[in-house]
Amino acid sequence: MLRFVLRRLGALAATLLISSFLVFSAMYAAPGTPESFLVQGRTVSPEVLASIRAQYGLDDPFLIRYWNWLGGVLTGDLGESLTTRQDVASLLASRIPTTLWLTLYAAVLIVVFGVLAGALAGLRGGAFDTGVLLGSSVGFAVPTFFAAVLLMSVFSVTLGWFPVFGSGSGFAGRIEHLTLPAVALALPAAAVVARITRTAVVEEREAEHVSVALARGVPWRVVARRHILRNAMLPVTTIVGVNIAALVAGAAVVEHAFTLDGVGAMLINSVQQKDFAVVQAVALLLVAVFGVVNLVIDILYAVIDPRVQLGGESA
């Protein structure tokens, strides 16, 4: 088990290294240069431009720049924002709580409503099943941005149940402020999860060992819990994991719509302003979160399915 985790952590580090290079070079592949943003359309003398380029090390060869940046990242120095002159690490730290709360809230919604609705639909069938199938199609089809606007106009503006913007403070405040954003963010993923769960449950219901257990007189509720739901959770775990990992990226749209001061909104702003250091840091963070969530899912999968042998060799 330990060897498996260590090996996966090594793979994660390699992934991060490769993506750091891609992230770093992608910014230079995009049109426009940082100094053209810095001068903000003003006409400046070539001397000033040269001094700016020298100050940000823009004249160094590409690989040298990458190396310097990577060294900084590894020592916790993510550089300085081009627009605000603030330290990127502390900037990021101030933004992380909002996004963390938002995605955690959305993840809980996905697990609770997606898995619950799918499981009940698969076990019960009938009208509830049809309702879940229909609801999940709608939930998946509605774009997140549209859902955000819709939720705001109905629950904030018309009914006045929730605040329109801001991320709130304290636990209750956060819950109050983040409910609508979290719902908007969770909706498509919950729809997918509900549908996958339903399919897995229906499939597992048909398994021979389920009918064997029933034919042995094991009560239905025990069979449903121990044999149908437990086994159906194997594929569901993977889908839930991938969807939760993707939330961090999806949060950008929702944070923008609800004007929340999270990492996602920060990413959008910094891309628009070509704030190199911030974009690189946020992109790297997204990759890291995705990798860590996937690692957790893989470990969880091995725990719930004994047939998965960690490390490939004998357990």
Partner 1 sequence: MNVLELDDVRLDLPSKHGDRTLLRGVSLSLAPGEALGLVGESGSGKSMTLRTVLRTEPAGARVTGRVLLDGRDVRTLGAADLRRVRADAIAMISQNPRAALNPVLRVARFLVEGLCDARGESREAATRRARDLLAQVGIADVDRCMASYPHQLSGGMLQRVVIAAAVASAPRLLLADEPTTALDVTTQSEVMAILDGQRREHGMAMLFVTHDLELASAVCDRIAVLYAGEIVEIATPAQLHAAPRHPYTRLLLDSRPNIAARVPALPVIPGRPIAAYEVEGGCAFAARCPWAAPRCEREEPALVHDAGRTTRCLRAGELADELAGAPADDAAGVSGAPAETGRDGETEARA
The answer to whether 41 contacts partner 1 (rule: CB under 8 A) is no
Residue 194 in contact with residue 118, Cβ under 8 Å?
yes
The token pair at 214 is: 């029933």
Spacing of C-alpha 16 from chain mean position: 16
Q: How many residues bind partner 1 (CB under 8 A)?
A: 22
Q: Any contact of residue 96 with partner 1 (CB under 8 A)?
A: no
Token readout for 230 is: 């437990």
Reading the block at residue 85, the tokens are 């002159």
Tell me: does residue 314 bind partner 1 (CB under 8 A).
Answer: no
Give yes or no for residue 1 binding partner 1 (CB under 8 A): no
CA distances to 206, 244, 290 from 180, in Å: 38, 17, 24
Is 230 among the residues that bind partner 1 (CB under 8 A)? yes
Exposed / middle / buried, residue 41 (Cβ in 10 Å: 0-12, 13-18, 19+): exposed
Which of the stretches 145-153, 176-184, 208-216, 265-273 binds partner 1 when contact is defined by CB under 8 A? 208-216
Residues numbered 114-143 forming contacts with partner 1, rule: CB under 8 A: none
Q: How far is the CB of 219 from partner 1 (least distance, A)?
A: 6
Per rule CB under 8 A, is residue 234 in the interface with partner 1?
Answer: yes
Determine, following the binding rule CB under 8 A, whether residue 215 of this chain makes contact with partner 1.
Answer: yes
Tokens found for residue 64: 């040298």
| b/e 260-271 (16+ beta carbons within 10 angstroms → b) | bbbbbbbbeebb
Nearer to partner 1, 260 or 302 (CB): 302
- Is the CB of 61 or the CB of 217 nearer to partner 1? 217
Assess 299 for contact with partner 1 (CB under 8 A): no
Closer residue to partner 1, CB minimum distance, 7 or 225: 225
Instruction: Out of 5, 16, 50, 218, point to the residue binding partner 1 (CB under 8 A).
Output: 218
Stretch that binds partner 1, among 8-16, 46-54, 206-214, 277-285 (CB under 8 A): 206-214
Q: What residues have CB less than 8 Å from 167, skipping those under 6 apart?
A: 98, 101, 102, 174, 177, 178, 260, 261, 262
Asked if residue 259 lies in contact with residue 265, where contact means CB atoms within 8 angstroms, the answer is yes
Interface residue with partner 1 among 84, 211, 259, 272 (CB under 8 A) is 211
Which positions touch partner 1 (CB under 8 A)? Answer: 207-209, 211-219, 222, 226-227, 230-231, 234, 304-307
